[in-house]
Amino acid sequence: IRGGTTDGHRFVPDALARGAAAVVGTEDLAAQAVDWPAPYVRVADSRLALATLAAALYGFPTRAMRLIGVTGTDGKTTTTNLITHILRSVGLHAGMISTIGAKIGDADLDTGLHVTTPDAPDIQRYLAQMRDAGCEIAVLETTSHGLHQGRVAAVDFDVAVVTNVTHEHLDYHGSWDAYLDAKATLFRSLAGSTRKLRPEGSSQPKVAVLNADDGSFDPLRAIPSDLLLSYGVETSSADLHASQIAYLPDRTTFAVQTPAGATTVDLPLAGPFNVYNCLAAIGAGLAVGLPLKRIVAAVTTTPGVDGRMERIDCGQDFIAIVDFAHTPISLQRALEAVRQMTSGRVIAVFGSAGLRDEQKRYLMAETSVRLADLTVLTAEDPRTESLGTILAQMAEGAQRAGGVEGRDFLRIPDRSAAVLQAVNLARPGDVVVVCGKGHERSMCFGVTEHPWRDHPVVRWAIERRLGLTAAPPPFVLPTTPDDL
């Protein structure tokens, strides 16, 4: 496989020396292959070949169970977990692969992944484990990278769900159109995938669940499927339409009209974006034939998702939240959501990743200066880029929105110090929201993944403020001052 930094064809001799039974590649190596101890198969697309071979190795597991794929820029993990919770609540043996881990049978696994969509062999291995554990249906969170690189090419999807398609990963895809086209791969795969049966014996249709309020709607609706279910808040003609929405500090209630009837929903998750996530999950439930009444009953018991609008409570007189928001739109939605939780100030802490779309850095800082009372810019996986340069770009974005450094925003390179400063500046009734890392358990400096998790750092900062500890921060990064 030819990758971004090296070419797998270079390692053929080493693979043969280690006992490879066959070699698959895209290069014309017929002359060299004459002397090889194993056959060489030339293909047009090595990644597609890998996906197909991996599926064959594990006995094509997705032909034995129904598959729901979830893609989009924001909300994928929450929607994936919502769908899985609904499926399990109605008694289905459901598996899941998402950013935060995998659910296989009765086991919840930390996959250790710093990517959302694993490579094809790992995906097929997890799916085979689900099949062998008796799972009859599975939910798979899929990224644009995973779709573009063919990691799910041999997965037989029955339902494809999109949350939204906004400004993200343009460093990789080059344009929004190319990014959308990668997402569309999931929907195009429906037509050629294996047909399956529902438990009662009826045929499972191939269903597209689309966001009618999003710019992706028209392009994706043009892709053939057996059934299209649209959802929305602004689009009253959507198949699933939410209205009478009440945003409460710890939950959201709304009325919903669906093809299966009308009802009210009591969702134990806060924020406007979770209405969309919930509508998408309800649509997926309807797509696999579940009764609306049972879907809505399951939604009311939905647990929170790790690192998604997650509160940290140490008895302080302000609200502290950890959230995964790492795009301009998700940050906007997070800040709008926490604004509704209090009449106090909103203090936002976040960074922007290195070796990723640079335009995001400006946009996220602009967004935060507009919507938060104080923005603290800090580290978030700078990788091999200069953290100082990243923060300077973010500061420029903040200034474009009228922000004044020292008044509206601060630059604090060390993330522990940034969180501590935000916590120390919080007044009674304020909200401190730490964004960007969410569930993640490491931070990349250079090419090294350093142990990191926002939750214990926020808790440590609060306890330091309350005088409950004098300990140093729980994690040490290359930026951490000795006296912190």
The encoded tokens of residue 439 equal 């569930």
The length of the chain in residues reads: 484
- Tell me the pLDDT tens digit for each residue of 269-286: 988 899 999 999 999 999
Q: Domains in the chain, start-ordered, CATH in brackets?
A: 8-44 (no CATH), 59-299 (3.40.1190.10), 310-465 (3.90.190.20)
Q: How confident is the model at residue 109 (pLDDT cuts 50, 70, 90)?
A: confident
pLDDT at 112: 54
Q: How far is CA 80 from CA 185, 332, 338, in A?
A: 18, 21, 23
Buried-state track 182-197, b at ≥16 Cβ within 10 A, e below 16:
bbbbbbebbeebeebe
Which residues are bridge partners to 211 per DSSP?
231
Q: In what order do the strands lie in the sheet with 346-350?
A: 310-311, 319-323, 431-435, 346-350, 374-377, 409-411
pLDDT exceeds cutoff 50 at 264? yes
CA atoms of 343 and 429, how far apart (whole Å): 7
pLDDT exceeds cutoff 90 at 114? no
pLDDT exceeds cutoff 50 at 113? no
pLDDT exceeds cutoff 70 at 348? yes
User: In sequence order, what are the residues at sequence separation of 6 or more whose Cβ sits closer than 8 angstroms to the Cβ of residue 251?
Assistant: 266, 267, 268, 269, 270
Residue predicted with more confidence, 176 or 158:
158
Whole-model pTM? 0.86
pLDDT at 173: 54
Q: What percent of the chain has pLDDT over 90?
A: 81
CA atoms of 396 and 399, how far apart (whole Å): 5
Pairing of strands 448-451, 442-445: antiparallel
